[in-house]
Structure 1
Amino acid sequence: MVAALELYLDVDTTRRVRTLWRALEAEGIPSLGSLHQRHRPHLSLAAAHRIDPQAVTAALDGFPVGRGLTVGIDFVGQFVGRVLWLGVTVTEELLAHHRAVHERLTAGGVEVWDHYRPGLWVPHCTISMRVPNPMMAPAIRRCLEYLPMRATVVGAGVADHANDINQPL
């Protein structure tokens, strides 16, 4: 199970990512869209097995999480375990925002996985959690057809779909 503090993307970018999810599905490649029907395209700022939405809300009270950020989605990557993602170009503004969020989470006692902490985090938009090995190259080629994208963050929330949690911030 995974819970995450997610940044949600503008309508046009969300539509493009969902279209990519459907294109992959049509080729027999599972996407995040089919993993849980409630998934929406996002960038995760923090993740853990469990995250208390009330603790996150309290820790970030008064802080405009993600509001006003514009990001470039410019490349494709993969993590060990057949995870395919669209890469977000790192900017000082994005890193400073991420750092500020984590300072508040830490002060509020919210525990997250180390690889989401400042200095280790890889900003990305997950496309699939389980691309079959023989399908990875075709999946990457399909993703490249949708790039580049310019996205504006329009909201944030804590999501834990396994436990039916979707708490807007």
Structure 2
Amino acid sequence: MALAICLLFDPPSDRVVRDLWSRLETAGVHTMATHTHGHHHPHLSYAVLRSWDLSRVQATLAGLSDAGPFTMSFHGTLAFPRGRAALAPAISADLARRQQQVVSAVVETGADLHRNYRPGGWVPHVSVATSAPGARLATVATAIADILPLTLNVDRAALVDSSTGETWPLAHIP
């Protein structure tokens, strides 16, 4: 069980990622569309917490300034262990600063931050495939390459319980 602080996309951007998931599922590649509880949203996680106090995390994030909506550019594919693959975004100094601010704030609540989200170790990504080993990885890379370059619009943020899909929208985008 984990709690993620997620950036979410506007409806047209969300649709682009869901269409990619659908094309890959049709090709026999498991994606976030069918992973675990099946309620996943296309997203980019600022942080993933392994333990937390929900009300403290919510209050802390509510106290951060609103950094507003923004666009993200994607230019490649990331391949992770165990057949996981993702869209690779260009990382602006602003995005890195936002992520560091969120991480610092939630760690101060006593939350246990997953090691992959520590500043300097964070690999920003939008998850696509959850199981694409070997030859299937070529299918994923081709499907992603077919839609690149890609610009997605971040228009909101939320806390998401990864085990259930339960979502708590944030009032603004930190």
Q: TM-score, normalised by structure 2?
A: 0.89
Spell out the pairing of 1:19-58 with structure 2 (5 A cutoff).
19-35=19-35, 36-58=37-59
Deviations 1:86-122 (A, max 9, x none): 0111110111111111121122222211210111101
Kept after mapping to 2: 8 A contact 1:29/1:135: yes
3-state DSSP class of the match of 2:12?
Answer: helix
Greater Cα shift, 22-31 or 45-54: 45-54
Following TM superposition, by how much is the alpha carbon of 1:71 offset from its aligned partner in structure 2, in angstroms? 1.3
Paired residue total: 169
Q: Alpha-carbon deviation of 1:148?
A: 1.5
Alignment partners' CA distance in 2, 1:143 and 1:133: 16
**Distance (Å, rounded) in 1 between the aligned partners of 2:9 and 2:137:** 25
Structure-2 separation of matches of 1:64 and 1:30 = 37
* Deviation for aligned residue 1:37: 2.4
- Report SS of the residue matched to 1:81: helix
Aligned position for 1:95: 96
1:149 Cα deviation from its structure 2 partner: 1.5
Q: Separation in 1 of the partners of 2:148 and 2:97?
A: 25
> Please, which runs of 5 or more residues in structure 1 have no aligned partner?
none
Partner of 2:13: 13
Matches of 2:68 and 2:61, distance apart in 1: 13
8 A Cα contact 1:53 1:167, kept in partner:
no
- Residue 106 (structure 1) aligns with: 107
In the alignment, structure 2 segments of 5+ residues that lack a partner are none
Residue type matched to 1:150 in 2?
Answer: T
* Deviation for aligned residue 1:164: 4.8
Q: Answer whether contact 1:5 1:159 (CA < 8 A) is retained.
A: yes
SS at match of 1:5: strand
Per-residue displacement from partner, 1:5-54 (whole Å, max 9, x unpaired)?
Answer: 11101211111000000000110111101113211100011113344432
Letter in 2 for 1:15: R
1:51 to 1:157, Cα distance in 2 relative to 1, 3 A: farther
Give the counterpart letter for 2:28 in structure 1.
G
State which drifts further: 49-58 or 103-112: 49-58
Q: CA deviation at 1:81?
A: 1.5
CA contact (8 A) 1:4 1:45 kept: yes
Identity across matched positions, percent: 28
Is 1:160–2:164 an aligned residue pair?
no
Instruction: Please give the TM-score of this superposition, normalised by the length of structure 1.
Output: 0.91
